[in-house]
Amino acid sequence: MKEIAFRVGGAAGDGVASTAETFARLCVRGGLWVHTYSSYQSVIRGGHCWTQVRAGSEPVLSQGEDPDVLIVLNQETADIHVPLVRDGGAIVYDEQLSKLDAHAVNPRVRRVALPMFRTAQDLGESMMKNVVALGASLALLDIPFEPMEKAIREVFGHKKPEIVEMNLKAGHTGYDAIASKGGSLGLGIPIAQGPGRMMMTGNEAMSLGALAGGCRFYAAYPMTPASAILHWMAANGPKHGIMVKQAEDELAVVNMAIGAAHAGARAMCATSGGGFSLMVEALGQAGMTETPLVAVLVQRTGPSTGLPTKTEQGDLNLALGAGQGDWPRAILAPRTASECFTAIVKALNLADVYQTPILVLSDLYLGEGNRTLDRDALDFNVPILRGFVADGNGDGKGYKRYRFTESGISPRAFPGMKGHQFTAATDEHMESGILISDVLAGVPPWVEERRKMMEKRMRKLEGLRSEMSLPELWGPPDADLTIVSWGSTSPTVREAIGRLSAEGHRVNSLEFSDIFPMRGAEIQEIFEPLKTTIMIEANYTGQFARLLRAETGCKADHLFTKYDGEPFWPREIVDRAIQVMKHGA
Amino acid sequence: MALELAQYKSETRPDWCPGCGDFAVLSSLTRALQVLQLPPWNVLLVSGIGCSSNIPGYLSTYGYHGLHGRAVPVATGAKLANPELTVIVAGGDGDGYGIGVGHFVHAMRRNLDLTYIVMNNEIYGLTTGQASPTSEKEHRTKSTPEGVIENPINPLALAIASGATFVARGFSGDVKTLTDVTVRAIKHKGFALVDVMSPCVTYNKVNTYDWFKKRVYVVDKEGHDPKDIHAAWARAIEWPNLERKRERVPTGVIYEANYPTYEELDPTLARHGPPAKQTKLVVENPDEVLREFY
């Protein structure tokens, strides 16, 4: 595979993210596969942020490693990133914005000084310095200018024609300057007219999944890194019949969604750990009233406010334990953007069929990073399962909303259906919905009734268990080492395994994407033949390792956790795998 | 064929204490639904937690008996998903003015077409007698043995200030006015608050039926114009207030105004109708949707 890593760094407000996104989109249009990772902070102006775009001729699984091309928009970027640029690469900088430490620069890296700021200012808008740098980057990487011209026209076309012309001039100035500064780097990236792939984040893929899956009510309160779902839904939902509401807090969000679901709309909400913590009581409510709901938890670094702009897989215990008492739930943890789409469709169907909350976990790394997708990865032709609904011919008596059934699934009725009136209660109730809690609790026949109602609800957990896909064992079956992972970490593990294989090691990957409830016996069968196992996850205590052991008895031999807020880099996994294979620890 | 009163009643007997003010609310609400001839299957009664929140089980309508303080957002979601339903929220002062007060304020500023009946007894009854957000200053309760030192919430003033378009008070000792107010509240297009002074005969030995009977009056009888927001404000702050004047407790419709409801302004409802009633859930033109990602 031919590949490059492009990195741009500056202060918040410098346009780092949009510059990187434009570059990534040009790569995708040129037939490459991209993976972006943004490191940013919880400020609107200032600070230090950078985005890496890794682009390759084949699917790229992670953010890669150090950059080939670095755009420096401020001094901090120079100080931190200049020493990292790889042999044969280039640093594009502006002497007016930053000074390079001559000792820090790798002699095999080209320094490209461009008066980006002045050029932009002379053209009338200093923010266009990024456009100058982007033009230069294209020339360095043999990417033709035409796609950039098209992109500029798309972005600014609705504004004044002068603005389009200014940006085109800025881009050309950067592009043309490279000819006199050593020309292209000759890294050999095969840019062509691409086959028309898409680029989107996990959050966007989830939004599309909600649309495809027939979601009709979406509520949220802004919270990084889940807000982009709200933004896409707000911009697009109403066109397609989805009602989208920003509520006063996550308590209102989840209760509104439950109210909408109770009335018959497929409902979803998304948040991060703090908001999810506020939703906890209501999730149990939906478990008790048997109301379908999809709740998405896009994890960031905890505890508490933690690092709001950093990634982690630390909220698994929160999702598993949300709500007092036991109630049936399923937890899905998509690994990729395309799985973000399918997981939401699946969650919406499971919620309606099992009449209980389904939780979907992703994280900042997957939710906010851009990935390349083939059109085939998003199949909108999906079944919409509404589950067991009453026939609508009730006589006003004898309807049992919570009828005891073998599956634990009882016939739903929606307010407005004649003759099926009932009260859904968070108190323990009879099959009819009438409360047991207040005057009947503890009275002999009702002790039995409570037990039976509890068992009825929990039978749905067994149904959900049968719906969970088994973990995927990827790579050679007779490997010496198996790396176990869940959710967004799995693709990076695959990349590490690719490198380990190239070095002659036999390593494979056991990847969980449907993570609760677990099909214990079958997972045991997969797990037991494995020689040596290492669990890799982004939290302090190894929350998934513990879940796996509790649910299946399978214990990973080694645990590699990370909790510094950064995603796993492939080299870290390679190093740890080699360490385990060589030294057994 | 006209719907009979019996058709609105359930077979479950209320478990409230004998003499509880909530019985009057139940009978007024049942009567109001019958007066309006609303089919019980088209009514959703949402409550939270507390003695009064048991009310959905005592009617034959659809009911949702949810969490403490969260009845209003559940009702909001249900009403938005299907505005063809008559959605009524009922609960206590702790539920609505204490733990759920944030939702109460936001629901009013939305002016959703909901009716909110608060059975206000100025005490926490189900938890056996602690101070509530409407307990008056100096009220001695289990949680305030030396007397409350906070000012009580004034629900009517809060409602007027927050954008409710129908604000009324009832009293369980005057079922006729309470029924009349409830009918008007349900008929009103927009957010309607009915604050009902509903004495707790077990735990509130201060604000009793007798206490109220000496103080309540019906504003209609004094020529009050509920369309006049300044007059409404003056009535609302007659009690409770910072001056701790407590001679007169106004009841009846305090404020009434006609502004667009939230449902009328919602873009999804305007284009596609109720989310709960849409049957076409398949996306017809996915490639159009995906265009922005290329």
How much is the pLDDT for A190? 85
Candidates B91, B88, B108; CA nearest to B99 is: B91
Using a CB-CB cut-off of 8 Å, the residues of chain B touching A281 are: 67
Inter-residue contact A298 to A315 (CB < 8 Å): no
Q: Residue A392: which pLDDT band, with cuts at 50, 70 and 90? A: confident
Inter-residue contact A513 to A333 (CB < 8 Å): yes
Give me the mean pLDDT over the A468-472 stretch.
98
One-character DSSP codes across A60-97: --S--SS-SEEEE-SHHHHHHHGGGPPTT-EEEE-TTT
Give me the mean pLDDT over the A376-401 stretch.
92
Give me the mean pLDDT over the A113-124 stretch.
96
Q: Which pair of structure tokens corresponds to residue B149?
A: 């030192």
Identify the weakest region by mean pLDDT among A44-53, A89-98, A534-543, B88-97. Answer: A44-53
Q: Residue A31: which pLDDT band, with cuts at 50, 70 and 90? A: very high
Residue A103, burial from CB neighbour count under 10 angstroms (0-12, 13-18, 19+): exposed
- Interval A259-308: pLDDT, tens: 999 999 999 999 999 999 999 999 999 999 999 999 999 999 999 999 99
Residue A301, burial from CB neighbour count under 10 angstroms (0-12, 13-18, 19+): buried
Q: Residue A503: which pLDDT band, with cuts at 50, 70 and 90? A: very high
How much is the pLDDT for B64? 98
Give me the mean pLDDT over the A428-452 stretch.
96
Could you identify the residue written with the tokens 């114009």?
B225
Cβ contact A264–B62 (<8 Å): no
How much is the pLDDT for A398? 86
Class of domain A472-583: alpha beta
- Interval A60-79: pLDDT, tens: 999 999 999 999 999 999 99
Decide if domain A3-196 falls under CATH 3.40.920.10: yes
β-pair partners for A148: none
Q: Is A175 helix (H, G, I), strand (E, B) or coil?
A: helix
Q: Does A373 touch chain B (CB under 8 A)?
A: yes
- Interval B41-76: pLDDT, tens: 999 999 999 999 999 999 999 999 999 999 999 999
Give me the mean pLDDT over the B210-235 stretch.
98
**pLDDT of residue A395 exceeding 90:** no
Candidates B208, B209, B167; CA nearest to B190 is: B167
Which residues, 6 or more positions from A349, have their beta carbon under 8 angstroms from its beta carbon?
A213, A383, A384, A385
Residue A188, burial from CB neighbour count under 10 angstroms (0-12, 13-18, 19+): exposed
Q: Is B130 helix (H, G, I), strand (E, B) or coil?
A: strand
Q: Would you say residue B31 lies in a domain?
A: yes
Q: Does A426 touch chain B (CB under 8 A)?
A: yes
Using a CB-CB cut-off of 8 Å, the residues of chain B touching A257 are: 77
Cβ contact B286–A419 (<8 Å): no
**pLDDT of residue A239 exceeding 80:** yes
Sign of the dihedral through C-alpha A426, A432, A436, A442: negative
Cβ contact A439–B76 (<8 Å): no
Three-class SS of A381-448 = CCCCCCCCECCCCCCCCCCCCCCCCCCCCCCECCCCCCCCCCEEECCCECCCCCECCCCCCCCHHHHH
CA-to-CA separations, A536 to A509, A578, B259, in angstroms, rounded:
10, 14, 57
- Rg value, chain B, Cα: 20
Q: Which pair of structure tokens corresponds to residue A34?
A: 């991209």
CATH architecture of the domain with range A204-377: 3-Layer(aba) Sandwich (3.40)
Could you identify the residue written with the tokens 């510059």?
A19
Cβ contact A243–B293 (<8 Å): no
- Interval A529-585: pLDDT, tens: 999 999 999 999 999 999 999 999 999 999 999 999 999 999 999 999 999 999 987
Which stretches of A264-305 are DSSP H helices? 273-289
Please count the structural domains in chain B. 1
Give me the mean pLDDT over the B161-175 stretch.
98
**pLDDT of residue A506 exceeding 80:** yes
Give me the residue from B43, B64, B281 closest to A424, CB to CB.
B64
CATH 3.40.50.970 placement within chain A: 204-377
Which residues, 6 or more positions from B132, have their beta carbon under 8 angstroms from its beta carbon?
B92, B93, B94, B97, B98, B121, B122, B123, B124
* Pairs of CB atoms within 8 A across A/B: 214
Q: How close does chain A come to B10, measured CA to CA in Å?
A: 10
Identify the weakest region by mean pLDDT among A38-42, A297-301, A395-399. Answer: A395-399
Could you identify the residue written with the tokens 């593990």?
A493
- Interval A3-27: pLDDT, tens: 999 999 999 888 899 999 999 999 9
Give me the residue from A214, A241, A264 closest to B268, CB to CB.
A241
Inter-residue contact A226 to A295 (CB < 8 Å): no
Asked if residue A415 has a cis previous peptide bond (ω within 30° of 0), the answer is no
The overall average pLDDT reported for chain B is 97
Cβ contact B73–A251 (<8 Å): yes
**pLDDT of residue A396 exceeding 80:** no
How much is the pLDDT for A193? 73
Q: Residue A151: which pLDDT band, with cuts at 50, 70 and 90? A: confident
Cβ contact B63–A378 (<8 Å): no
Q: Which domain holds residue B28?
A: 5-267
How much is the pLDDT for B20? 98
Q: Would you say residue B38 lies in a domain?
A: yes
Q: Would you say residue B282 lies in a domain?
A: no
Which residues, 6 or more positions from A251, have their beta carbon under 8 angstroms from its beta carbon?
A278, A279, A282, B69, B70, B73, B102, B103
CATH 3.40.920.10 placement within chain A: 3-196
Give me the residue from B61, B77, B266 closest to A255, CB to CB.
B77
Q: Residue A229: which pLDDT band, with cuts at 50, 70 and 90? A: very high
**In CATH, what number is assigned to the domain containing residue B245?**
3.40.50.970
How much is the pLDDT for B100? 98
**pLDDT of residue A195 exceeding 80:** no
Q: Which pair of structure tokens corresponds to residue A224?
A: 């990084």
Q: Would you say residue B77 lies in a domain?
A: yes
Which residues, 6 or more positions from B69, have their beta carbon under 8 angstroms from its beta carbon?
A251, B48, B49, B95, B96, B98, B99, B100, B103
Q: Which pair of structure tokens corresponds to residue A213?
A: 């899956």
Using a CB-CB cut-off of 8 Å, the residues of chain B touching A264 are: 81-82, 276-277
How much is the pLDDT for A397? 77
- Rg value, chain A, Cα: 26
Q: Does A243 touch chain B (CB under 8 A)?
A: yes
Candidates A73, A10, A12, A16; CA nearest to A46 is: A12
Other C-beta atoms lying within 10 Å of the C-beta of residue A535: 24
The CA angle B222-B217-B204, to the nearest 5 degrees, is: 160
Other C-beta atoms lying within 10 Å of the C-beta of residue A42: 12
